[in-house]
Every structure is written in C-alpha cells, then in structure tokens.
A and B are shown apart, each in its own frame.
Chain A
Amino acid sequence: MPPAWRHRRFPPPLASLLLWAVVACAGALGLAATRLQQLHAAFETDARIVHRLLSQRVVQHDAIMATLALLQPGAAAGDAASAAPLPRLPSVYPQILAVLQRTGQDPWPVPLQAELSAAEATSRRTGHAAMAALDLPAGRYHLVLAGTPASYALQIDLRATIPAEEWPMDRDRSLVRVTLEHGGKAFVVQPGRAGDDAGASRLRSYDFHKQLAAASQPLEVVALRSVGLSELPWWGMLGWCVLTAGLWAAGHALWRQRAARQRAEELLRLGQVARLNTLGELAAGMAHELNQPLTALLSSTQAAQRLLADDPPDLGTAQTALARAVDQARRASAVVGRLRRLVERPDLGGQVQPLPLPAVVQDALRLLQPDLAQHGVAVEVDAAVPDLPPVLAEPVALQQILHNLLTNALQALEQMPSAERRLRIGLSLPDAAHVALSVRDDGPGIPPEARQRLFEPFFTTRRGGLGLGLTLCESLAQAMGAHLALAPEAPGSQGRGAEFVLTLPTAPAAPAATSLTTPTRP
C-alpha cells in the first residue's frame, strides 16, 4: 500500500512568492504608467493654453498698429493733432514701451535707422507689420508697419505681454520651461524648475513647439518638461506592494493551517494503521514463541506414550520425556506471561493531570469535523453543570478514548437516514468526585446478546472490525483511574441508539477553594 501521506508535504512557497512578485511589479508599473500619462496630458494642456494666451496678446499688437494706420494724420491736420494719441498708448498697454512715427521723407531715429527701414520695406512688401531690432534675451523688439504718409513702429516689451492672471501654471515653481524662440535666440517666459533630479534620473521628456498665431511676429512657443524618478507615485506603488504582500501572507497562512490539519488527520490514520501492523507482528511472534514449547511438549508426551506402550515399557526414557514435557509446559506459560507484560500498558496513573473536559471534547470534535460534516451528523454538546471542575486524566489516552467513542458513534449513524444522524455529548457531575462524559448516538443500537460481550477482545458487530477498539478504551480508562461503561438502554428507545459513559475522577481543587467550589450531595 503506497503511503498516501508522503505525497503531501509543505513545498517551499517559491511559486506563490514569484506570483506575488509578478502581481506586485505589474501593479506598480501600472501605477507609474498612469502617473506618466497624467503628467503628459497636463503638460500638453498647459502648453496649448500658453500658446493661446501668448498668441492672443501678440495679435493685439497687430490690431494696435492697424488702428494707428487708420488714424493717419490727414494732410490738413498737421503734426500737433496727429501726435496726440501716440504718447498715451504706453500708459494703456504696458507692454508698449514707445511709439515711433516717421512721416514722408523723415528718417527713423538714428540708433535703429537701418533696421527699422529694412522692416518697413518688408512691411510694405508683405502688407502686414514686421519685426525689427529683435532682442529676444531681453524680451524687446520693434514692430514696424509701413504706411502712407506715416509709418509706425512700436517698441514692445515681451515681459509685460505675459498675462499673469490667466497663466495656467505657477511661474516660479512650475517644472515646465516655456520660451519664445526665433532665429536661435530665446526669451524665457517661464524658467521651469529643473527639479532635484535633472540629468541621470530623468525618466521622460515632453516638448511642445508651435508658432504664435500672428503672421507679423513669427515667434515659436517652446515648452519643455522633464519627469524625474522622484515624480513617480512611490507611496502608491509601495502601498500596492504592501497590500499584495499582506494578501499573500494571509493566503499562505491559511494554506499552511489547512495543510497542517490534513497532516494531523493523516498522522492519526497512520497511527491506526501502525497499530494494526503492530498487532499483526505481535500475533506472528506470539504464534512462534508458543509453537516451539507446544511442539516439544506434544512430541515429548507422545514419545512417552509410545515408550510406555512398548513391551516391556521403557520406563526410564518415558520419565525423561515426561520431565521434558513439564519443562516445556512451564516454558509456554512463561511465554504467555512475558507477552502479557509486553502488551500491558504502562500505568497511566502517574501521568494524569488536570484537564478541562469541554476543551478536550472540542479538540476531539475538531479533529473529526470533516467526517461529521461529510455525513451530515448534527452534534450537540450538553453541559448540565456550567462550571465543570477539571478532570484527572492522561491527555493522549483521554483523546484516544474520546476519538474511538466518537468514531464508533459516527459509524453507527452512517446506517441511518441522513436526517436522523444526531450525536449527543453530555457532560455531568454524578457526584462530587467524578465527572461523567457520555457519547450517545441515535444509530441502530446494540443487540441485547452483544451488550454483554461488547468489551471482550476480538468481539465485534462490524464486518471487518477488529474488535479491539472498546477493549483498548476500557483498559486505557482503567489505567488512569477512569471507568468506561455502556449505559443501560433508555426506556422507550426500542433498542435504538447507544450511549457510552466515561466516568473520570475530578482533579482536587486548590485547598483554599475546595470548600467553596465542591458541590455537596447527600
């Protein structure tokens, strides 16, 4: 018979650990990817808003220039009238530092004469304003619109162009760098904090390039953003790992618990098989040990018979043969005595200890729980006395007796319809010095002729039963000063059901408490 218990071991939890690692990593990566996506989307949105705001502002410059062109001083108006609105512009539009006007053949002011003239030429050619004297690092440039008779130039300060109230980001703290670029030069609109982890730990870079929506001022809006490792949702990732680790640990613990329980059950079964094997060995040994002297005894007496039947009888040899027979009879008896001592249980009296009976009962029931559940047996534990004193017993022997009684009851109940499978365990105090534990089943009961012989060795009512279970229980009970008996048939039960009562001595209470807790009975 292959030992089934060998196949179930505790494998190292490598596989499940690996699974946990995969789940944890996948979750963490997912969280990181989501965060990166969010950051990218936010960057794109901000960059578009910035582009729109700046475009609106520079388009305004074109509108101002167009207005100036419309307000061309008429030939009749004269210089004084035409010059009037010009100085007021910078006070209305802070980004306009100065307004220049050139009329007829007058040249542009000296320092910028050439550039303004070139821009005016461009403007005249394209029909819209043109930039001149572009100084992007400083954020300054001129916008020139050619007109007749007067051409205008506005000196613009980009710094004042930025609409601070509507700006979508915190310009000092934002990680996004925004610049306006043209011809390799750049005006820094928003410096963008480089972050603590610029360089090696940079994870991603986002960028955005788009020209301002104003043909006269072809400046490119450039937004840059790099994402560092420190921006990943580390706490969330860590939390996820911890959560899954917790789940793994809980699952593992549960599995271990179940495996340990299975193992305990298997060990119990194994113990039963081992006991049967031992019994077989014992029987074989006993047969041999007894056969030898019996063989010698039989042969000697038969030899003596033959010698005495001879004519004349050989009395001397016959006597020797009979003396030998006597010796062998003694030897056989000694073998029996030795075997008895061998199988005798050590006196359990010295190993008893106070035990709480209800807890022992719960232990035994827990061990049998799978069988009870499988056969649909309803168990009732009925404690007549609320504060049962502890009993004196040897724990293993008590457990074994209880297990045997419960197993017997369970087997009796298997023959009943499943609705009637009830098992009652009663705990009571028959007198001050004893606690009675009764196990009652509603099975088919014990036939009257079997009731007398129930505790005899090798007597069994079950097919294939060994007939030693109750014998063993009884001798175990006796060895620890307890008593096991079959309860008399309950009146009206009509032979159904069986009840076994194990009477155990109570443990002597602590001296001070004795008078208080020991109930007295007449």
Chain B
Amino acid sequence: MTDTAAPSLSPLIHLVDDDAAVRDSLGLLIGTVGLRVQTWADPQSFLAGFDRASIGAIVLDVRMPGTSGLTVLEQLLAQGVDQPVILLTGHGTVEMCRRAFKAGAAEFLEKPVDDEVLIEALQNAVRQHVRSRERHQADQQARERYAQLSAREREVLGLIVEGLTNKEIGRALELSPRTVETHRANLFGKLGAESLAQLIRRYAALVDSVPGA
C-alpha cells in the first residue's frame, strides 16, 4: 500500500472515448495543466488494463459502442475502484444524470465541454482522490500499530479515549496508578502518538470498531 504514496508522480487521468479525435484533443487539453493522461479507445481494454492503484481520475464518455459509460461506471463501483469518475455526454437527460449520480459519478458534463469546466472538475476530482487515499493510508497505519498493543494496553487505551484519568483507570481495572502510568507510556510509544489529542483523533474510531477490547 505504500507504493501509491510516491509523491514525485503527477496524477494520472484515464480518458475513455471511442472517438480518436476527441481522445487526442481532450488529452492535449488536460496535458496543458500538467496532468498525465492515459487514453483508452474502448471500455473493455480500459477495464482490463488500467492501473487501479494510480492517483487521479477517470473520464468516461457515456455514448460508446458496446458498453455505455454508465454501465462501465456501475462496474467500476462494483469492483471497488476508488478513482472519481467524470461522465461526458452528448445530450444528457435528467434520467441519465440521476442514474449517473446514483452510481457514484463525481461529475456529469455535457459535450462539447469548456476547458475551464473540465479542468476544474478534474482538479477537484484529483484532490478528492488524493485526500481519500491519504486518509485510507493513515487508517491502515493506525490499524497496524493498534494490532501491536497487548490486551491490557488496549483496555487502558479504551479508558483513556473515554476521558478517564490514570487514577480512575487504576480503580476501574484494579491496578495501581503506577502500573497504569507504565501501560500509558508503552502504548503512546507503540502507537507513535505525541499528544493525548493526537491519540484520541487517530485511535478513538479503532477502539470502538475493533472487538475484544
């Protein structure tokens, strides 16, 4: 999971459209703002070949021969792909728009699309994706660190998160305040927390969600 964090690579936009001229011009336009573009001529090769780990966004044409862009969007969602999807359509109907947002589209744009509209949508999408990836990564790290705690340390952590003092924790677990203090120091070290506030922000959710505490 660490490979996606390579900050030196600029975000990658996947552009799926059956029309070569549209692919080339949109690709060129997107390239002018420093985003990398990978173009795909049909949904099948895109679904088979695109890099799911990449940071960026997906631009899908709705009207394509074979598989409609909406169907591709639904397949991506079903496969748990986390890149935001922007749909492009020649003539969008309300029904199509409704279906697109229900399937989780980030944006729904009409062709021909103005450069500023498209680029803003792409940049928003990329920002959203980067944030979601970072959040995901932090969650992952927290989970790994939490797994290193002993059972007693988890109990202590649970009570810390609930706002109890060392003395109160000692009473609750029938430990001496000194022992509590030792556990507290150990779990701060294992979890890499620098302050109580940081500890609570990162791990409160984990304490609640992981059973057996």
Interface residues, chain A, with chain B CB atoms under 8 Å away: 284, 287-288, 291-300, 302-303, 305-307, 310, 317, 320-321, 324-325, 327-328, 331
Contact = CB atoms under 8 A, between A and B. Distances in A.
**Which of B25, B31, B33, B91 has most chain A Cβ within 10 Å?**
B25
B134 interface: no
Given A293-B21, A306-B115, 17 more contacts: A284-B91, A288-B90, A291-B91, A292-B21, A292-B111, A296-B21, A296-B26, A297-B112, A298-B25, A298-B112, A298-B113, A299-B115, A300-B25, A302-B29, A307-B32, A324-B21, A324-B25
A38 to B, nearest CB: 81
25 contacts: A288-B63, A288-B90, A291-B90, A294-B112, A295-B88, A295-B113, A296-B22, A296-B25, A296-B26, A297-B112, A298-B115, A299-B29, A299-B113, A299-B118, A300-B28, A302-B29, A302-B115, A303-B29, A306-B32, A306-B115, A307-B32, A324-B21, A324-B24, A325-B25, A328-B25
Contacts of B28: 299-300, 303, 317, 320-321, 324
Given A284-B91, A302-B115, A306-B115, A295 B29 contact: no
B19 interface: yes
Interface string B17-53: 0010110111011011100000000000000000000
- The prevalent SS among residues of A at the interface is helix
Contacts of B88: 295
Contact of B19 (A284, A292, A298, A302): A292
B91 A295 contact: no
B114 interface: yes
A287 B91 contact: yes
Nearest to A294: B112
A303 B25 contact: yes
Contact of A295 (B25, B31, B32, B33): B25
Contacts, number: 79
Interface of B: 19, 21-22, 24-26, 28-29, 31-33, 63, 88, 90-91, 111-115, 118
Contacts of A306: 29, 32-33, 115
Nearest to A327: B21
A132 to B, nearest CB: 120
Given A300-B28, A302-B29, A306-B29, A292 B114 contact: no
